[in-house]
């Protein structure tokens, strides 16, 4: 098929009814809610990473010879870090809900180890590792490989959530908090086991720092993979997160 | 007017526990303590030393003693109403038999009591408690000393407090630490004496979890008391050395109530180890302001800036030394310009005692020996990013090459056929 023919849109070509045509079909992939979650999370990850680097090892300071009562670099970084983390955490609860109860597409269905899902997972993986030489999957819909990739991300974020809240609740004195003692009590109840698993508050902190880098590495891979799909598949995968749709070429007859 | 620390929001959410003790609760507590003190008073004084004459002898005024009892009442987080009971409990410590044994240690916890510029109330109390056995302080030696230990353990069976100072080596069947003329291993001594104790106190970092003897690679297989003693109430009073205030406070709590104070998950009294020292640190404002000592002796150090970048582990460490300090409130490590090394935390020597922030530490990670980990989290992270980056570049180049070959060989139209002809517009595919 020539380049000129590929650019044709339905009903615009000078073809007979039964002649094959190429249609570009708009496939919905991300609802407005999911796109909002996506960009809030992306922003929160960047904010938490930048502020987290400062909290771990403060790399700028006010001039020590000029003590300025108006600078609170660490306090600001910590506050922004917590706000970013809370955005991530709340979106995680939303995602957990949508995984199971979404009215549009329940991600949990992509994660079921059914024969079709396993085949599609394998084909998507093979497509990537064979550099798009082998392409035996329906690229228009969301494949289980992508679903597993996102599940991994959500589990990493969950680790960060649990270790982060453990570090956060450590600084509460005697269960006193601005919103009542239920809040630190709840955090202790939910996250204290991380002390045993990761080796005390030192281990929890190390896990939190290392996991931050794993998140960034995941994000780098994610961006690459979406760009790679956009280039190799030519279906505009990269714009899904902006417009919500991808654009798939379909061949058929004019009335087919 | 009392200050209610709960926010409007919290009050709107409903009842949360009052943060202050009500007067009724305080009075009930006072009555319970009185009853217990009457019981202890009925017991025979064992040491033959009374606190009041000792205080007079050492020219410690009544005012100084009252100041001490007020501070101790506050430290124990008791209502101020109970100050007279705390004073009485201090005077009754001579009724409590104590056996103090030492294993793999430097006697630093004992020395914390006795090496003060003048006799402190803690030090005098240390004299009045019925110390039946203490290797470092007693005159007896050899077989005589061992006989004294056996006698004391027999005489006060079931009622003595066993204080254990030092780590307990388990390697070579405990052979790395033998005690006395009979060559009994320390682990056997601990097992034997803890059997007859009413309460076991692990004094200092080494007794807490093994301390410095247990630091990597732990050649003697040293452990803390909690790994050896079971079935007995055990209170850990860590730090290197432990603060005498925390030891005496725990004894007073026991005298007042007949039971161990509330403990945290690591068996430490919450009244002493319930807060991060960071929370009450005198340099905390500099931490929030981002004002850090960058090098020893720099302008920041001269201005008493925060020591976080010099490796202060205050944000990791639960202890009350930022409040009670050491040597009768004279000073504490951060006060003299060195960061906290986290000595009241488990494995502090391996995991906390270095003069850099954790992320910049580049220390050998214990437990990962052989894996070659010398790196900090950031180095690991940059390494991980480099691996991902190299993988991405390699994959991108290979993909481009594969695409180039495919375009040269594919028949016209093949690209379209690759996609499914199914129409997914209706099935959704929506995320």
Q: pLDDT by residue (tens digit) across B64-98?
A: 889 889 988 988 888 889 999 999 998 888 888 89
Minimal-distance CA residue of chain B relative to A28: B430
Q: Do B377 and A29 touch (CB under 8 A)?
A: no
Say which of A60, A72, A251 has its CB closest to residue B289. Answer: A72
DSSP B314: G
How far B260 CA sits from the closest chain A CA (Å)?
A: 18
> In this model, does residue B370 exceed pLDDT 60?
no
Preferred mutation among B205, B358, B430 to probe A, highest tally of A CBs within 10 A: B430
Mean pLDDT (chain A, rounded): 85
Task: Choose among A78, A105, A202: nearest Cβ to B351.
Answer: A202
Averaged pLDDT for residues A132-160: 89
- What pLDDT score was predicted for residue B234? 95
**How many angstroms from the chain centroid is the CA of residue A235?**
20
Query: Where is average pLDDT lowest: A136-150, B59-73, B176-190, B394-408?
Result: B394-408
Which residue of chain A has the CA closest to B298? Answer: A64
DSSP one-letter string for A5-56: HHT--TTTS---TTSEEEEEEEEE---HHHHHHHHHHHHHHHHHHHHHHHHH
- For residue B44, the 8-state DSSP code is P
Least confident of A40-49, A96-105, B139-148: A96-105
Complex-level ipTM beyond the 0.95 threshold: no
pLDDT band of residue B385 (cuts 50, 70, 90) is confident
State how far the Cα of A159 lies from the Cα of B298, in Å rounded to an integer. Answer: 39
Superfamily of domain A32-61+71-248: Transmembrane di-heme cytochromes, Chain C (1.20.950.20)
Least confident window among A152-156, B117-121, B125-129, B140-144: B117-121
Burial class (CB in 10 A: 0-12, 13-18, 19+), A239: middle
Same fold, B33-272 and B277-360: no
Cα B329 from chain centroid? Answer: 19
Distance from C-alpha of B378 to C-alpha of B357, rounded to nearest angstrom: 12
Nearest CA in chain A to B387: A217
Check: CB of residue B344 under 8 Å from CB of residue B205: yes
For the cut 80, the answer to whether the pLDDT of residue B150 exceeds it is: yes
pLDDT tens, residue by residue, A179-204: 888 888 899 999 999 999 988 888 89
Does the domain at B33-272 match CATH 3.90.580.10? Answer given as no
8-state DSSP, B334: G
pLDDT at residue A208, rounded to an integer: 93
Residues B217-252: tens digit of each pLDDT:
899 999 999 999 999 999 999 999 999 889 989 989
Which of A126, A136, A141, A216 to mutate to probe the B interface, most B CBs <10 Å? A141
Question: Which positions in chain A touch B275 (Cβ < 8 Å)?
Answer: 173-174
- Quick one: closest CA in B to A223, which residue? B392
In this prediction, residue A92 has a pLDDT band, given cuts at 50, 70 and 90, of confident
Nearest CA in chain A to B375: A210
Q: How far apart are CA B332 and CA A70, in angstroms?
A: 29
pLDDT range class, residue A17, cuts 50, 70, 90: low
Contact A131 B401 (CB under 8 A): yes
Residues from chain A contacting residue B205 (CB–CB below 8 Å): none
For residue B310, the chain A residue with the least C-alpha distance is A57
Residue in A with minimal Cα distance to B5 = A178
* Cβ <8 Å between B425 and A25: yes
Do A178 and B345 make contact, defined as CB atoms within 8 angstroms?
Answer: no
Distance from CA of A11 to the nearest CA of B (A): 17
Q: Which residues contact B238 (CB under 8 A, 6 or more apart)?
A: B202, B204, B205, B207, B208, B209, B268, B273, B343, B344, B345
pLDDT band at B410 (very low <50, low <70, confident <90, very high): low
Residues of A in contact with B430 (CB under 8 A): 28-31, 104-105
| Res. B423 pLDDT band, cuts 50 70 90 | very low
More confident residue, A26 or B406: A26
CB contact under 8 A, A217 and B359: no
Q: Please answer whether residues A14 and A246 qualify as being in contact, where contact means their C-beta atoms are separated by less than 8 angstroms.
A: no
Instruction: Say if residue A131's pLDDT is above 90.
Output: no
What whole-number distance in Å separates Cα of residue B431 and Cα of residue A31? 7
Instruction: Tell me how close the Cα of B123 comes to any Cα of chain A, in angstroms.
Output: 30
pLDDT number for residue A132: 85
User: Confidence class of residue B424 from pLDDT cuts 50, 70 and 90?
Assistant: very low
State percent of chain B over pLDDT 70: 85
pLDDT in tens, B316-349: 999 999 998 888 788 999 999 999 999 999 989 8
Is the per-residue pLDDT at A216 higher than 90? Answer: yes
Q: Residue B373: what pLDDT?
A: 44
pLDDT on residue B351: 83
**Does B423 sit within 8 Å of A25, measured CB to CB?**
yes
Contacts of B382 (CB under 8 A, 6+ apart): A213
Neighboring chain A residues of B385 at a CB cutoff of 8 Å: 213, 216-217, 220
Is residue B367 scored above 60 in pLDDT? no
Indicate whether B420 pLDDT > 90. Answer: no
| pLDDT higher than 60, residue A226 | yes
Q: What is the mean pLDDT of residues B259-282?
A: 90
The confidence score (pLDDT) of residue B412 equals 54
Rounded average pLDDT over B151-156 = 92
Is A220–B10 a contact, with Cβ atoms under 8 angstroms apart?
Answer: no
Does B371 have pLDDT greater than 50? no
Of B279, B381, B428, the CB nearest to A171: B279
Contact B377 A56 (CB under 8 A): yes
When the pLDDT of each residue in chain B is averaged and rounded to a whole number, the result is 83
Q: Which range among A24-38, A202-216, B12-26, B308-322 shows the weakest confidence by mean pLDDT?
A: B12-26
Q: What percent of chain B has pLDDT over 90?
A: 39
Whole-number pLDDT of residue B175 = 94
List the single residue in B with minimal CA-CA distance to A132.
Answer: B399
Q: What is the mean pLDDT of residues B22-50?
A: 87
Look up residue A134 and give its two tokens: 């082998």
The domain locations on chain A are 32-61+71-248
Mind telling me how many Å the CA of A117 is from chain B's nearest CA?
14
Q: With contacts defined as CB-CB under 8 Å, which chain B residues touch A131?
A: 395, 398-399, 401-403
Determine the residue among A217, A226, A229 to mutate to test chain B binding: the one whose Cβ has the most chain B Cβ atoms within 10 Å: A217
A vs B, Cβ pairs < 8 A, gives 223
Nearest-angstrom CA–CA distance, A169 and A185 = 9
Contacting residues of A for B17, CB less than 8 Å apart: 181
CATH architecture of B277-360: Irregular (4.10)
Residue ranges of domains in chain B: 33-272, 277-360
Confidence (pLDDT) at B95:
87
| Nearest C-alpha in A relative to B418 | A135
CB within 8 Å of A183: residues ≥ 6 apart: A177
Contact A58 B13 (CB under 8 A): no
Cβ proximity of B202 and B167 under 8 Å: no
């Amino acid at each position: 098929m020539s380049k000129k023919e590929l650019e044709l849109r339905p009903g615009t070509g000078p073809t007979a009814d039964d002649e094959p045509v190429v249609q570009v079909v708009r496939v919905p992939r991300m609802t407005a809610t999911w796109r909002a979650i996506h960009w809030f999370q992306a922003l929160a990850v960047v904010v938490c990473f930048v502020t987290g680097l400062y909290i771990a090892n403060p790399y700028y300071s006010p001039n020590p010879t000029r003590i300025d009562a108006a600078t609170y670099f660490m306090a600001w970084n910590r506050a922004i870090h917590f706000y970013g983390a809370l955005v991530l955490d709340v979106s995680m609860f939303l995602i957990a809900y949508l995984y199971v109860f979404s009215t549009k597409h329940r991600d949990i269905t992509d994660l079921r180890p059914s024969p079709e899902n396993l085949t599609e997972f394998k084909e998507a993986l093979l497509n990537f590792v064979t550099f798009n030489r082998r392409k035996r999957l329906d690229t228009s819909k969301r494949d289980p490989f992508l679903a597993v990739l996102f599940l991994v991300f959500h589990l990493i974020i969950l680790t960060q959530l649990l270790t982060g809240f453990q570090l956060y609740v450590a600084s509460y004195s005697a269960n006193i908090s601005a919103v009542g003692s239920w809040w630190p009590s709840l955090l202790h109840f939910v996250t204290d086991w991380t002390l045993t698993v990761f080796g005390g508050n030192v281990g929890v902190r190390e896990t939190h720092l290392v996991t931050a880098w794993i998140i960034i590495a995941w994000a780098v891979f994610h961006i690459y993979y979406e760009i790679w799909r956009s280039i190799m598949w030519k279906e505009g995968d990269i714009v899904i997160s902006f417009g919500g749709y991808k654009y798939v070429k379909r061949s058929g007859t004019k009335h087919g | 007017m009392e200050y209610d620390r709960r926010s409007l929001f919290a009050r709107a959410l409903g009842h949360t526990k009052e943060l202050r003790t009500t007067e009724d609760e305080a009075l009930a507590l006072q009555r319970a303590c009185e009853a217990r003190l009457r019981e202890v008073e009925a017991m025979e004084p064992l040491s033959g030393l009374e606190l009041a004459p000792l205080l007079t002898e050492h020219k410690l005024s009544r005012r100084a003693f009252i100041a001490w009892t007020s501070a101790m009442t506050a430290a124990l987080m008791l209502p101020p109403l109970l100050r007279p009971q705390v004073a009485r409990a201090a005077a009754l410590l001579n009724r409590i038999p104590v056996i103090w044994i030492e294993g793999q240690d430097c006697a630093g916890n004992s020395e914390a009591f006795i090496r003060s510029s003048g006799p402190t109330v803690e030090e005098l109390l240390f004299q009045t408690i019925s110390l039946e056995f203490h290797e470092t302080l007693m005159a007896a030696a050899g077989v005589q000393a061992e006989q004294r230990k056996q006698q004391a353990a027999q005489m006060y069976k079931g009622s003595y407090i066993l204080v254990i100072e030092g780590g307990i080596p388990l390697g070579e069947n405990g052979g790395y630490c033998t005690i006395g003329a009979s060559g009994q291993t320390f682990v056997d001594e601990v097992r034997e004496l803890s059997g007859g104790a009413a309460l076991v106190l692990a004094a200092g970092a080494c007794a807490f979890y093994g301390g410095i003897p247990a630091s990597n690679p732990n050649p003697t297989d040293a452990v803390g008391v909690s790994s050896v003693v079971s079935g007995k109430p055990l209170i850990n009073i860590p730090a290197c050395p432990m603060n005498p205030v925390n030891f005496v406070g725990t004894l007073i709590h026991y005298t007042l109530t007949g039971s161990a104070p509330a403990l945290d998950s690591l068996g430490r009294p919450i009244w002493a180890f319930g807060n991060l020292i960071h929370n009450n640190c005198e340099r905390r404002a500099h931490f929030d302001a981002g004002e850090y000592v960058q090098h020893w002796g720099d302008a920041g150090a001269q201005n008493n800036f925060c020591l976080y970048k010099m490796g202060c582990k205050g944000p990791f460490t639960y202890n009350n030394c930022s409040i009670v300090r050491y040597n009768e409130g004279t000073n504490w490590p951060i006060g003299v310009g060195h960061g906290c090394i986290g000595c009241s935390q488990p494995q502090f020597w391996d995991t906390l005692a270095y003069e850099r922030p954790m992320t910049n530490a580049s220390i050998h990670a214990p437990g990962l020996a052989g894996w070659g980990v010398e790196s900090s989290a950031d180095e690991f992270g940059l390494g991980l990013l480099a691996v991902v980056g190299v993988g991405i570049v390699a994959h991108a180049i290979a993909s481009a090459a594969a695409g180039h070959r495919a375009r040269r060989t594919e028949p016209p139209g093949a690209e379209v056929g690759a996609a499914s002809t199914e129409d997914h517009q209706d099935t959704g595919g929506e995320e």
